[in-house]
Every structure is written in structure tokens, then in C-alpha cells.
Amino acid sequence: MSEASAPHAAERRELTAAQRNAVAELLRVSPVADELGRRFVRAGHELHLVGGSVRDALLGRLGDDLDFCTDAHPDETLRIIKGWAESIWETGREFGTIGAQRDGLRLEITTFRAESYDQVSRNPVVVYGTSLDEDLKRRDFTINAMAVSLPDHVFTDPHGGLDDLSAKVIRTPSTPGESFGDDPLRMLRAARFAAQLRFAVHPDVHLAMTEMAADLDRITAERIRDEFTKLLCGADPITGLRLLVDTGLAERFLPELTGLKLEIDEHAQHKDVYEHTLTVVENAVSYEEEGCDFILRMAALLHDAGKPATKAVGSDGRVSFHHHEVVGARLTKARMKAMRYPKEVTAKVTALVAMHLRFYGYGRGEWTDSAVRRYVADAGDLLPRLHKLTRSDCTTRNRRKAAQLAADYDALEDRIARIAAEEDLARVRPDLDGNAIMELLGVPPGPVVGRAWKHLKEQRLEHGPLNRDAAEAELLRWARAEGLIG
């Protein structure tokens, strides 16, 4: 790999060291990348590894998804890779992108672009470019505006991306105002990269994000949702979340988060509920066993969303937020619907928010086995996440209190395990199914069967498993009380 240019000795030394890291990563994929590059050159075209692939190679974390740019248009790209690629897809063709797979690598090959943006939706309108420099200039950040030409491995970095990568700073190739004016989503993307890479945004970028935050309103909910999801699943979501709030971007699509800054928690253990929430998110991340659990992180972020609307100050001056979990669940559902999250994801996050306070009070010894069964039954397959969310919500600085809460929850989990060993808590169902109910009562399918089933489930939760004779006797007793049989 050779240098495109290096006017200063210090830059040359730094570039060479960084390139050594990149070479080690590129060697793993170069048989495929170089072979593809030769095919394009033979056809009279250019091919460059570009964007996130170069950035990640320089960071020593290149994956199996590779991004390329070329002067070839999509039809020409298809002709070049046909018969060479193991599979080809054209889902990104309208944006000039052709996808392919070879030797376990996913390749996306995009024609040079000089994008313009629809002034209403701010969705990109593709205009093909004519040069690598033009393509790199239109990219979002300097760390994504570097390229490695193939197959000769010439490194191109016209906007100082390598220096910014070394300094761990997020900066734009053109002025931030021009860049964000082209696509306001880039402001949210800056926060996302801060969270993913643990980088800081340049002061000029921060200022532009603050001044232009309202421009985010022109972006579709789906595009905002996708960027925000990546941010929350970043290695350091707290940095990204703080950036959203500090610049005013959160107010444009997630005002519940900003609203938490106004509320002081009832125990004065944190600067405000906002700081408590960020700590809960951080705790939730620490409980993850493998990869990002978006549902857990989102529930941690919104678990106290109902506090601003339920704040009350008592005669003794103490602040309370009664039933904030109910209000918070309603707000969570509405917000995630507005952000176009799938219904099943929204339902799970909403359920966790609604249940996050259920544990409190257990330590006073008020829970019967019936209450434990209901806790497990209501949580369903969310129980492991509910365990983690409840533990994450303990942020008190009082060591004695923290230790007591942890011990109480340990005791609850042990109790759940004990009862589960005796019963099948994972499948708490009535002791008679619908067919047995219809046969015993002599009724057809309909509302009566549903009511009987619900009654038997309540008995199951209250008293534990019943044998067949006891279950039938209880059903007949209920039916007589309801006037269904004599």
C-alpha cells in the first residue's frame, strides 16, 4: 500500500504506522478485493475500497461486509461481476449500488455519487459522480472519506480522515453547515458514531448540530429510528445520548428523554432523573451476556418516562411519582409507535416499563407464592430481561440499601427457581384445557369457555397445580355459581 500524498514528515510516519494496521486486515480479504479490482481495471474502470471499510481496517476491526465505489454504472458493474460473484442482488440499484457475495464476503459496489437531497423529505436523490475525489467529498465524515484503490492499494485521504481517526474526533469533509444542510440525518449519525467508536465530535460539528437541530424534522421517522437504534446499541450509548440532549436533537424525536432533566428524584440520590436514567442504561449494558439487547436498553432508557407527568410534592416537601410506571408505559408505546418500531418490539419494551416497579415491596415479606406465580406469569418470556432491568434500576449510593435490595432480589430469584422446580412456572396454564371444559360443561366453543378458562388460570396462580379431580370439581363449582348448571 502506497501513499497518495504526504507533505509532512510527521504525517508520513503516522500514515505508515496506520497503514501497517490496515495491511494486516486487508491481507485477509485482499484475494477477493484485489481480484475484483483487477476485473474492473480490465474492463476500463476504477474500483476503490471506501468509507467504513477503510475506517474499520485502520482501526483493526474490518468485518466481512466490504464497501466499494467505482466509476462504472450499475449495468456495467453487473456485467463485470456476472459469473464471478456467487450471488448478486440489486435491492440498492436505485441508489447506484449492486450487491454481491464471494468467499463468505458481502460486497456492495456503488457508482461514484454526487448526491443532492429532496428539499422536503431530505431523502437522497442519486446523481452519479465522475471522480473519487468528488465521491469522497460528499461523504458524511472525514473518517469515512478515505479510500484504498484496488488492486494497487493506493491510499487516498483528501480531508485528513487519518488524522481525525488518530485524534478520535468526528469532523465533516465540507463545513458542518453544508454537510448537515445536504442531509440533516448526519447530525444524528454523528452522535451514533460517537457512541459506536467512543469518539468526540469536533466543536464546529457540535455547534452546527445545536443550531440546525430543527432540520431533523424533515427526516422520515424510519431513517431516524434506524440511526437511533444503532446509537443505543453502540459501545458507549451514554456519550451518544448526552450528545442528543445537549444539542437539542433529542427534543425533535425523543422529548421524553430531555424532559427527565427537569425532574429531581424522590430520594435526592442523583442530580436528576435524567442522570439516574443514564446510569440505569449503563447498568443494563453491563448485564448483557452477548451483543446488544435493544429491548432491554430501550426499556432502561424509558423506564421513568412517566415521572415528569406524575410528579407531586407532599406536605413534607418530599417528591413522589405515583403510578409513573403506568403513565410511562403509555408514553413508551406512543413514542415507539411514532418512531415506527415493530409492534412486537414496542410491546416488549412497554411491558418492561409497566412492570419495572413490581419487585419493590418484596423485601417486606408481603409476597405469597401466588404473587410470585403472577409475577412470573405476567413477565412471561420477558422475565430474564425484567430481572436485569430491576437490578439495573438500583442506583442508590447508600451501600447498605443497595446491598439489601440486591439480597432481596437474590431471594426472589431463588424463590422463583424453587417454585419453578415444583411447578411449571414457564407455562402457567389452567389444569383443564378448552376441550376438557367443553366436554365437562357440555357447552360449545364460545365466551363461556373463555370465562371458565380464565377462572381456572386464576385458581392455578393462586393455589398452584390442581390434580384432575380437584380441577374438575372447581370447574363445576364455578359453573353452578355462575348459573350455568344446576
pLDDT digits (tens, 9 = 90+) for 82-120: 999 999 999 989 889 999 999 999 999 999 987 555 555
Which CATH number goes with the domain that contains 36?
A: 3.30.460.10
Residue 143: pLDDT over 80:
yes
Domain presence at residue 145: yes
Domain presence at residue 74: yes
pLDDT band at residue 14, thresholds of 50, 70 and 90? very low
Q: Which of 113, 157, 117 is nearest to 135 (CA)?
A: 113
Taking the chain, what is the end-to-end CA distance rounded to the nearest angstrom?
91
Domain presence at residue 222: no
Query: In the predicted model, what is the mean pLDDT of residues 350-376?
Result: 82
Q: Of the spans 157-161, 182-186, 240-244, which averages the highest pLDDT?
A: 240-244
Residue 331: pLDDT over 90:
yes
Higher pLDDT, 438 or 248: 248
Q: Is 36 helix (H, G, I), strand (E, B) or coil?
A: helix
Percent of the chain with pLDDT over 70: 85
Q: Of the spans 89-93, 205-209, 319-323, which averages the highest pLDDT?
A: 205-209
Domain boundary among 104, 136, 167: 167
Domain presence at residue 173: no
Domain presence at residue 262: no
pLDDT of residue 15: 47
pLDDT of residue 13: 37
Q: Is 210 helix (H, G, I), strand (E, B) or coil?
A: helix
Cα separation, 244 vs 454, whole angstroms:
46
Domain presence at residue 362: no
pLDDT digits (tens, 9 = 90+) for 379-394: 889 999 999 999 999 8
Cβ burial, residue 129 (10 Å; 0-12/13-18/19+): buried
pLDDT of residue 117: 57
Higher pLDDT, 330 or 451: 330
Higher pLDDT, 231 or 311: 231
Q: Give the residue numbers spanning the domain of 433.
A: 429-481
Domain presence at residue 58: yes
pTM score: 0.80
Domain boundary among 144, 167, 190: 167
Q: Which of 238, 258, 144 is nearest to 191 (CA)?
A: 238
Domain presence at residue 106: yes
Higher pLDDT, 436 or 219: 219
Number of domains composing the chain: 2
Residue 218: pLDDT over 60:
yes
pLDDT of residue 61: 83
Domain boundary among 167, 184, 213: 167
Task: Give the helix, strand, coil percentages of the chain, each rounded to 5.
Answer: 60, 10, 30
Query: In the predicted model, what is the mean pLDDT of residues 215-219?
Result: 95
pLDDT digits (tens, 9 = 90+) for 437-462: 787 788 888 888 788 777 777 777 66
pLDDT band at residue 269, thresholds of 50, 70 and 90? very low
